[in-house]
Every structure is written in structure tokens, then in C-alpha cells.
A = this chain, B = another copy of it.
Amino acid sequence: MKRDTRQAIIDAGGDLVHRQGFHRTGLKEILDAAGVPKGSFYFYFRSKEDFGLALIEHCAQGFAALADQYLDAPLDGPLARLAGFFVMLRERLAARGYERGCPLGNLAQEISDLSPPMRQAVSHAMRGMAGRLARVLAQSRDAGEIPADLDPDATAAFMLEAWEGALLRMKAEKSGEPLRRFEDFVLHRLLR
């Protein structure tokens, strides 16, 4: 199995789905963008849903790598790394004109009620994201940087949710204001 053809489909599809949504994006469009003929698709994937599952896995890995790079860096304190992570995300989103938002969040919204397997995959990916945040929060609490009565897991979950909501509003307003507000309320108030 030529891994790179399959990967080309996922890369091109990931980009298109991120911009247009899963249902709005047709197989033909993805395959044209990837330079792969229609017939090959069903050699690599059983169905569009099967492709979606691979896409979710791809997004999850991409995010995990990025998060690990920023959150596990051996610099500064844990809280500073956390703040730096969100600032970096905000700058990336600004560079894109506040479009697209979170690939996983978009998919979650679009397919949660329509495809149980994809919903489960997204849910699993989100738990992974929350887990990474929780680890840093635990370090931060142990370092005495944040209130000791904040449960790292619950706080991480809340952060993830508030962040996804901020991204949603960002898309709707085409403004970075919600992201700055997130940092202000969550990082500077909640964790103060």
C-alpha cells in the first residue's frame, strides 16, 4: 500500500474539509486537489466516513505534536508555557484572518449527531487534548502557580470548551477579540 498516496488524500482533504466542512466537500474535489484519480479512493478507504475517521486521527496527531512541542518544552514554568501555547494559537489564527477555526471542533459540530463512529473518534481526540492541558495544569498547581483547589482535569476540560467556544465566536465575528477574552478570563482570572 503506497502510504504517500493515501497521505496525499488525507492532506488535501484535511485542508478542504477544514475550510468548507465535511459535507460541503465532495470526494471529487479532494481527489482533484490531491492529484489522485477517483477510482483510487475506494482502494484506500472503505467509504467517506472511513476517510473521515482517518482525517480525525490525522488532526489529533497534528495537534498533539504541536501541543507537546509547546507544553512540554523545558523552558519557563508550566503556566508560562500554557500561556505561550494559547498566544501562539491566537497568532496563527490571526494570520489566517480568523477563518476555519479548529478542525476537530468543526467536525464535532458537524458530524456528532450523524455518525457515531466519527463522533467517538472526535471525542477520543478531544480527551487527548484535555489530558495534555491537565498535565500542565497539574504541574502548575504543584509549582504553586495556580490555586490549589482547582482540579486539573475539570479545569482542563473547561479550558478546552471555553477555547472551542472562543474559536466559534471568532469565526462568526471575524475578530480576535474572543481569543483575547479567553486569555483574559481563563488565564488571568480563573488561574490567578
Interface residues of A (CB under 8 A from B): 19-21, 23-24, 99-101, 105-106, 108-110, 112-114, 119, 122-123, 126, 154-155, 157-158, 160-166, 168-169, 171-174, 177-178, 181-182, 184-185, 189-190
> Looking at the complex, which one of B21, B99, B112, B184 makes contact with A172 (CB distance below 8 Å)?
B112
Report how far A20 CA is from B184 CA in the complex, Å.
35
Report how far A184 CA is from B181 CA in the complex, Å.
19
Report how far A161 CA is from B182 CA in the complex, Å.
9
* Shortest CB distance A59–B (Å): 13
- How many subunits of this chain does the assembly comprise? 2
Output the nearest chain B residue to A21 by Cβ-Cβ distance. B110
Report how far A174 CA is from B168 CA in the complex, Å.
19
> Looking at the complex, which one of B21, B99, B155, B185 makes contact with A190 (CB distance below 8 Å)?
B185
Contact indicator A21/B23 (Cβ below 8 Å): yes
Asked if A169 meets B161 with Cβ closer than 8 Å, knowing A101-B109, A106-B109, A114-B20, the reply is: yes
30 A–B contacts, CB within 8 A, in A order = A20-B114, A21-B21, A21-B114, A24-B114, A99-B112, A105-B168, A108-B171, A110-B110, A112-B174, A113-B171, A119-B171, A119-B172, A122-B172, A123-B172, A126-B172, A154-B184, A154-B185, A157-B169, A157-B177, A157-B178, A158-B182, A158-B184, A161-B165, A161-B169, A161-B178, A161-B182, A164-B164, A164-B169, A165-B165, A165-B168
Output the nearest chain B residue to A165 by Cβ-Cβ distance. B165
Report how far A163 CA is from B165 CA in the complex, Å.
7
